[in-house]
Structure 1
Amino acid sequence: MAQRELWHPECGRVPVRRSADDGGNDPQAATPQCPHSSKIRGGQGKFGWLKRPENAGLFLPALEIFLLSLPFVGMACVIDRQGYVTRYRERHHRLWYICKMAFCVLAERAAKFADDNGRKLEIFFERSGNKEDRSIIQYMRELEREGNPFNQQTSGVYTPLSAEDYHRNILGEPRWKTKEVAMIQIADLVLYPMAKGGYDSSYNPYRKLKESGKLIDCLLTEDQILVGGNQYSCFDTQKD
């Protein structure tokens, strides 16, 4: 693996990884090792120059235009941690992991969307740690073995998928990607405003996604949103 650098007038040197033969066979070849969206939002690291208002005023609108020009559909399951603990602590002796709940909801709704459009779903996720990565793969195996894990009496209104449905609609097991992969960075930039929109529907980046029709809810009827749209769970107040 060879190491090369690009030069940005504000960021300085940005390292780029290429395969040894420079032939483009490496899926992460020529991908700038850019920081997470948190670095952009906080003006940290190589994006420290964004702390200057004149720089942010040029860069952030251009970033917005770029993101909204991409062909994607934003889907999310956002769970308020404190609301989750408050709601379920008295009902259940042992609480589910929030990440498991979010994964199961999101995998099901993404599979439904793919199936409705005559496609198969392939799942990629950002690598975070060996234990966490194994857990995500295990969640998927359980869905394909047992189907939807939620209480059938309370979740029936959401038309849950069966184990057979998951086998039919999803290709293989979830695969991890590092944060160096461009699409992981883009997904992170889109996810943050979707999550924050659960707390503040007037948050401008969230409104822009909604107004541009980039959210799954924009493509569904009101009845369809209940079973296939973005889900905001355990919030004390209703999101607009």
Structure 2
Amino acid sequence: MPNAASPKAPLLHLYLDETGPRHPDRQSTAAKHGLDWFALGGFLIRQEDEDTAKARLDAFKKQWPQIQAPLHLTDMRAETKKFSWIGRLPGEERDRFWSSYRTFLSTLPVAGTACVIDRPGYLARGYGSRVGDEKWMLCRSAFDIVVERAAKFAKHQGRRLKVFYEMADPDTNDMVEGYFYNIQENGMGFDAANSAKYLPLTKEEFGYLLLDIEGKDKSNRLMQIADSYVYAIARGSYERKFAIYRRISESGKLVTSQVPAGMGDIMGVKAYCFELFKAQKQQRPG
């Protein structure tokens, strides 16, 4: 591994957004799909590829001049707020919009990544209810997992990692940045015996690989893409046929398909606490 005296390493950027309630005891917002998750993720991109991704987003928006707000997949799918116009499109035009959007997402020079936690499964394991578990709230667990896997991916590419996240209120921003600096300085806090199979990085490796963290607002072009990627990966963790997930997956845009053979469980997308969901799915008729 390079040291501080080595030539400057190229950068890999991780863009993070979240979807779902971050607190284990907070009631989930009712949704038609009936699923209950918290996910933190988005995509990884080489620094030198960012201009290409931005240009492709601009080109997509030029196809649809009705877009007058930052892309937000939840509102787009619900056809509400600044995206209510989607619901007024004629059937063929509406289909063309979604087809073009899936094509846009599936042709970006990125690696989609996320940690998706099934909230009922998380509670069924007893997490968040035991003494000392407050340090492993959903967002802390997801952040540490997705950043560690991104750091491994950066190491594999001979790069260092910079993290960008969507800003919220000042307290939440401080919390997220605190997670980052804790890993950078102290390494992972998971049980060493339980995490050994995932080949965790050392504190020294984190200290080198993790460069910095920076907040971005919703108007940031790449953060708009992260919004769609994290939702698609979260939904696709339950429903493989979800159209956007299926398209980006089949196009090789998930990090799991871009890592060396046999390393998907160590650097790929992480679906966490899904035992309860899988058991319930097996019990369903048909």
TM-score range normalised by the length of the shorter chain: 0.7 to 0.9
Length-normalised TM-score, structure 1 = 0.82
Q: Which has the higher contact order (CA 8 A, sep 6+)?
A: 2
Decide whether aligned partners of structure 1 residues 223 and 237 sit closer, same or farther in structure 2, where only a CA change above 3 A counts.
farther
Q: Which residue of 2 aligns with 1:48?
A: 84
User: Counterpart of 1:34 in structure 2: which amino acid?
Assistant: P
Q: Which residue of 2 aligns with 1:168?
A: 208
Bigger radius of gyration among the two: 1
Are 1:141 and 2:141 counterparts?
no
Are 1:61 and 2:116 counterparts?
no
Within the candidate set 157, 182, 194, 1:154 is matched to 194
RMSD of aligned Cα (Å)? 2.3
DSSP 3-state at the match of 1:148: coil
Q: Which residue of 2 aligns with 1:85?
A: 123
- Deviation at residue 91 of structure 1 after TM alignment: 8.2
Residues 147-206 of structure 1 deviation map (CA, whole Å, 9 limit, x = unaligned): 11001111111111122111111112x110000011000111111110001111221211
Structure 1's unaligned 5+ residue stretches are 1-5, 15-32
Are 1:37 and 2:73 counterparts?
yes
* Preserved CA contact (<8 Å) 2:183 2:206: yes
DSSP 3-state at the match of 2:158: coil
Q: Which residue of 1 aligns with 2:66?
A: 11
Decide whether aligned partners of structure 1 residues 68 and 8 sit closer, same or farther in structure 2, where only a CA change above 3 A counts.
closer
User: Counterpart of 1:140 in structure 2: which amino acid?
Assistant: F
Decide whether aligned partners of structure 1 residues 223 and 61 sit closer, same or farther in structure 2, where only a CA change above 3 A counts.
same
Q: Indicate the percent of aligned positions where both proteins have the same amino acid.
A: 32
User: Counterpart of 2:77 in structure 1: which amino acid?
Assistant: R
Q: Which residue of 2 aligns with 1:220?
A: 259
Q: Distance in 2 between matches of 1:47 and 1:90?
A: 37
Are 1:113 and 2:153 counterparts?
yes
- Deviation at residue 54 of structure 1 after TM alignment: 3.6
Structure 2's unaligned 5+ residue stretches are 1-60, 282-286
Within the candidate set 93, 103, 109, 1:71 is matched to 109
Length-normalised TM-score, structure 2 = 0.69
* Preserved CA contact (<8 Å) 1:11 1:46: no
Runs of 4+ in 1 over 4 A off after TM superposition: 6-10
Q: After superposition, where does 1:184-199 map in structure 2 within 5 Å? A: 184-199=223-238
Q: Which residue of 1 aligns with 2:271?
A: 232
Decide whether aligned partners of structure 1 residues 191 and 7 sit closer, same or farther in structure 2, where only a CA change above 3 A counts.
closer
Q: Distance in 2 between matches of 1:8 and 1:233?
A: 38
* Preserved CA contact (<8 Å) 1:72 1:214: yes
* Preserved CA contact (<8 Å) 1:201 1:207: yes
